[in-house]
A and B are shown apart, each in its own frame.
Chain A
């Protein structure tokens, strides 16, 4: 609501001032101004509240035939990126209900999520930019967010199809779009961060599917070096078990050439 003494519709100086005064008085007495709800502070460390989150019952999802086939053929040892110390990717990082903390950093142009489990770093641009014309699919996808009142709306596209949605191997395609409404809510167990997600992916879901995740503040959680620890374990295992001989042979071959 604006109030200015420089109403340009009136050439006459008196009329301009009078009109300005009237619009100012109108602005003041026309009842309460619409409450400019400030964006709540979602920064800090959060951890999923597993008990409140309802995992999908895969059987009741509106899966297409190809999604059903992919799910049936899923081999967790070879098709789950996390087994290779690769990230979960979006939105599996948001859907994860294991008690792995993540941090939210809020700055003017960007909201950054740093996940402890596998080191996923998710950036949500809040500087008003549009989506790029032809984004390269990536693990985190391309996210744009805006505050509407006290709700953070986030739209995400270009999530690569190598990431899955759940441990079960629930697939998605590169044309998946993710729409999130992120809010804060007081509850009996303290402040909750709530992420309402809608996933649209006609290749895999006949109708959009939804999920809600709840997170609690975890100010005393220490973020570890999750991805490094995963790699460290994998490297040790590779050295100690299967691959040391293989590497020696490879090196001998290289030296012999």
Chain B
């Protein structure tokens, strides 16, 4: 009986610690994606053969046959990639991580997007509309930040996604050798509507001296053409 009580005490104190402990790692800073992994090897974001379901394969073929990049590529209209592609880009646009008490905020320079990851135990509100970034909650498992994201806006090629998509990210600091400390992102993408099985995507991030966030506003081209009088009669909203 005494042992049981002692165990209970230990268990409850561990529970309490889990709730109150400060974050084990501070990820705050500006991070640049990189294809070169911690051992110096070139890495691929996606596995070679995505486990598309047969009907997805057929749908994809039909879509690609009629694909009009001018009209169909959302990124040409300045719409954000959204989750999960937002975290998997390797174009040289940094992401700023701001770690506060019970929140981690990621500001992605490309498309000027903001991810909010709640570590305060809250649940996704009922009826929350799907969004580009989805709804993310996180917790620490030792030195690893685990983030679960649902409520992501469906659609998007070349990697289609449905409202059933669930993305689980594991983020940790790793020794990148000459590259210094690196951020490793391993992401399990689970979408039973389009894929036969969950698959893992991977990305790495580095820090540099003097790396700072810039301003990225995708519609700046349109704005500038407008100021230069190159858009003719075109005025948005009219």
In the complex, the number of residue pairs spanning A and B with C-beta atoms less than 8 Å apart equals 106
Known contacts A86-B217, A162-B227: A107-B70 contact under CB 8 Å: no
Q: Is B162 an interface residue (CB 8 A)?
A: no
Known contacts A86-B217, A119-B114: A107-B28 contact under CB 8 Å: yes
Interface residues of B in 188-238 (CB under 8 A from A): 213, 215, 217-220, 222-223, 226-227, 234-238
Q: Is B36 an interface residue (CB 8 A)?
A: no
Q: Which of A162, A228, A231 has the most CB of B within 10 A?
A: A228
The answer to whether A228 and B213 have CB atoms under 8 Å apart is: no
CB-defined contacts of A123 to chain B, threshold 8 Å: 213
Q: Is A154 an interface residue (CB 8 A)?
A: no
* Alpha-carbon gap, A242 to B220, bound state (A): 20
CB-defined contacts of A223 to chain B, threshold 8 Å: 114, 116
CB-defined contacts of A234 to chain B, threshold 8 Å: 78, 219, 236-237
The answer to whether A81 and B70 have CB atoms under 8 Å apart is: no
The answer to whether A225 and B116 have CB atoms under 8 Å apart is: no
The answer to whether A83 and B132 have CB atoms under 8 Å apart is: no
Rounded to whole Å, the gap between the CB of B110 and the closest CB of chain A is: 13
Query: Among the listed B77, B99, B220, which residue makes an inter-chain contact with A235, where contact means beta carbons less than 8 Å apart?
Result: B77
* Alpha-carbon gap, A215 to B213, bound state (A): 27
Q: Is B113 an interface residue (CB 8 A)?
A: yes
Q: Is B5 an interface residue (CB 8 A)?
A: no
* Alpha-carbon gap, A244 to B234, bound state (A): 12
Q: Is B165 an interface residue (CB 8 A)?
A: no
CB-defined contacts of B68 to chain A, threshold 8 Å: 251
Nearest A residue (CB) for B105: A105
The answer to whether A83 and B236 have CB atoms under 8 Å apart is: yes
The answer to whether B235 and A78 have CB atoms under 8 Å apart is: yes
Nearest B residue (CB) for A246: B234
The answer to whether A86 and B236 have CB atoms under 8 Å apart is: no
Interface string of A32-60 (1 = CB under 8 A from B): 00000000000100000000000000000
Interface residues of B in 54-87 (CB under 8 A from A): 68-71, 74, 77-80
CB-defined contacts of A239 to chain B, threshold 8 Å: 71, 77
The answer to whether A85 and B219 have CB atoms under 8 Å apart is: yes
The answer to whether B215 and A247 have CB atoms under 8 Å apart is: no
Rounded to whole Å, the gap between the CB of B36 and the closest CB of chain A is: 28
How many interface residues does B have (CB within 8 Å)? 40
Q: Is B182 an interface residue (CB 8 A)?
A: no
The answer to whether A43 and B100 have CB atoms under 8 Å apart is: yes
The answer to whether B215 and A140 have CB atoms under 8 Å apart is: yes
The answer to whether B234 and A247 have CB atoms under 8 Å apart is: no
Nearest B residue (CB) for A236: B77
The answer to whether B114 and A121 have CB atoms under 8 Å apart is: yes
Query: Among the listed A112, A227, A232, A251, which residue makes an inter-chain contact with B112, where contact means beta carbons less than 8 Å apart?
Result: A227
Interface string of B143-155 (1 = CB under 8 A from A): 0000000000000
Interface residues of A in 218-238 (CB under 8 A from B): 222-225, 227-228, 231-232, 234-235, 237-238
Q: Is A67 an interface residue (CB 8 A)?
A: no
The answer to whether B71 and A139 have CB atoms under 8 Å apart is: no
The answer to whether B114 and A244 have CB atoms under 8 Å apart is: no
The answer to whether B71 and A247 have CB atoms under 8 Å apart is: yes
Known contacts A84-B222, A119-B112: A247-B70 contact under CB 8 Å: yes
A-B contact pairs, 21 of them (CB 8 A): A77-B235, A78-B226, A84-B222, A84-B226, A84-B236, A85-B78, A85-B219, A86-B219, A105-B98, A107-B100, A225-B80, A225-B132, A231-B77, A231-B219, A232-B79, A234-B219, A234-B236, A235-B78, A244-B71, A247-B70, A248-B71
Could you tell me which A residues sit within 8 Å of B by CB distance? 43, 77-79, 81, 83-87, 105-107, 110, 112, 114, 119, 121, 123, 138-140, 162, 222-225, 227-228, 231-232, 234-235, 237-239, 242-244, 247-248, 250-251
4 nearest CB pairs, A to B: A235-B77, A84-B223, A247-B70, A85-B219
Q: What 11 additional pairs, Cβ within 8 angstroms, besides A85-B236, A231-B218?
A: A79-B227, A84-B222, A84-B236, A85-B219, A86-B220, A106-B100, A112-B105, A231-B219, A232-B79, A243-B234, A247-B70
